[in-house]
Chains A and B, each alone.
Chain A
């Protein structure tokens, strides 16, 4: 099993450009999450989805949108990228019994906004 797969692994954008980060999991998990990791800030929750068809804001949702396309896929969109969004982005998922507890993480997307 691949677990949680994120694409792309690296991306460079210019300020104002848009892009979508893709995430898919093959563990039949209900819950999925997007975090960003910044030096000295740890991991901060951007958005999460407790189940297919639902999404909720996390700690730092401004400038982002998400789509829970189906049970497997949860995408993160930057409509107009800003340098402050330069970060490493992690997608994660968890099963019903471990919602918000035991998360399985993807390998991350390193995004630079110039």
Chain B
């Protein structure tokens, strides 16, 4: 079974402060981890994936297999970062993308 846990339903951060959205996973195979984001009145979309090892909109996430985590980080929050963030898990040859319960991030001006 594959499972994704996002412990924070809501997270409020002041503009300019660092952001960290937590994600832990459970998967018996070789995992592929993703962060999806849903901005207000927009469609859910892929933000980043661990295999790309890239920074998107200032966000980064590192896969830590030892701690089975894939936390999303940004050093300086911006107001436009306010959105719903979902961590998601798949695997090699796996058709199913499993989502966590999501974290609603609010950036306080």
A: which residues have CB within 8 A of B? 31, 33, 35, 40-45, 48, 50, 56, 58-59, 90, 99-108
Contacts and interface: CB of A to CB of B under 8 A. Distances in A.
Interface of B: 4, 6, 9, 32, 34, 36, 43-46, 49, 86, 90, 94-102
A101 B96 contact: no
Nearest to B87: A42
Contacts of A104: 45
Contacts, number: 52
Contacts of B86: 42-43
B95 A100 contact: yes
A48 B45 contact: no
6 contacts: A40-B9, A42-B4, A48-B96, A102-B49, A103-B36, A106-B43
Nearest to A103: B97
A107 B43 contact: yes
B90 A100 contact: yes
Nearest to B45: A105
Contact of A90 (B9, B44, B95, B98): B44
A64 to B, nearest CB: 16
A106 to B, nearest CB: 7
B46 A42 contact: no
B101 A41 contact: yes
Contacts of B46: 102-103
A48 B95 contact: yes
A56 B96 CA distance: 10
A101 B9 contact: no
Nearest to B42: A107
A103 B37 CA distance: 12
A43 to B, nearest CB: 4
B96 A42 contact: no
B96 A45 contact: yes
A105 B44 contact: yes
